[in-house]
């Protein structure tokens, strides 16, 4: 099963759900989508708006691959669980967030080869194939970088 999670942002991310639904219609792969505030209802995937912490962690542990928006907490959880992670950043132009900071987050993790950064959903299927053989690097916190600052901030609220 491929777990797709869009977090709890108050914004929709219908374009990712549509892309995953299309892939699901063309393959035998099972997808589970945690859709958040998105309004598109997939026809070929199991979908639920929100999950409890326990359900969410179970999905991370049981999936063979994770597709996520560029939420740092989810990215780190996927990497820590040893899952191949494909990140699709939310875009302000698509009304998925107020700015494009998620592009920067996705690029930062992608440049470290911890995740695959997919900005073109027309190529999502190719990213799934690439993830099957890609050598993902472990995430290393080296101090002073933006990811560490964000993680420290998240820990305050955890």
Indicate the range of 34-38, 57-61, 139-143, 146-150 predicted with least confidence.
146-150
Q: Is the pLDDT of residue 18 over 80?
A: yes
Give me the percent of the chain exceeding a pLDDT of 70. Answer: 89
Q: 62-71, 108-117, 125-134, 140-149 — which is least confidently predicted?
A: 140-149
Q: Which range (25-39, 78-92, 141-155) has the least confidence?
A: 141-155
Backbone φ and ψ for 117, nearest 5 degrees, come out as -100, 110
At 24, which CATH number?
3.40.50.2000
Model confidence at 9, in pLDDT bands (50, 70, 90)?
A: confident
For CA atoms 9, 58, 106, 148, give the dihedral sign. positive
> What per-residue string of b and e applies to 132-153 under the rule 16 or more CB within 10 Å gives b?
eeeebeebeeeeeeebeebbee
**pLDDT over 50 (residue 158):** no
Six-digit token string for 156: 């305050």
Residues 31-59: pLDDT tens digits?
A: 999 999 999 999 999 999 999 999 999 99
Q: The domain containing residue 133 runs over which residues?
A: 2-157
To 5 degrees, how large is the angle CA 101–CA 66–CA 158?
Answer: 60
CA-CA-CA-CA torsion sign (158, 151, 15, 118): negative
Q: b/e string for 60-77 if b means 16 or more Cβ within 10 A? A: beebebbbbbbbbebbbb
> Where does the pLDDT of residue 141 fall: very low under 50, low under 70, confident under 90, or very high at 90 and above?
low
Domain count, the chain: 1
pLDDT at 36 (0 to 100): 94
Please tell me the predicted confidence (pLDDT) of residue 63.
97
């Amino acid at each position: 099963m491929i777990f797709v999670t869009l977090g709890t942002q108050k914004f929709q991310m219908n374009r990712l759900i549509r892309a995953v639904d299309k892939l699901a219609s063309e393959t035998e792969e099972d997808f589970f989508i945690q859709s958040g505030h998105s309004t598109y209802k997939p026809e070929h995937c199991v979908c639920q708006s929100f999950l409890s912490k326990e359900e969410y962690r179970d999905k991370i542990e049981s999936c063979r691959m994770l597709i996520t928006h560029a939420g740092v907490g989810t990215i780190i959880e996927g990497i820590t669980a040893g899952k191949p992670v494909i990140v699709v950043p939310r875009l302000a132009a698509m009304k998925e967030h107020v700015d494009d900071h998620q592009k920067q987050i996705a690029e930062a993790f992608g440049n470290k080869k911890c995740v695959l950064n997919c900005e073109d959903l027309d190529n999502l299927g190719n990213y799934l194939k690439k993830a099957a053989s890609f050598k993902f690097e472990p995430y290393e916190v080296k101090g002073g970088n933006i990811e560490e600052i964000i993680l420290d901030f998240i820990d305050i609220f955890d």
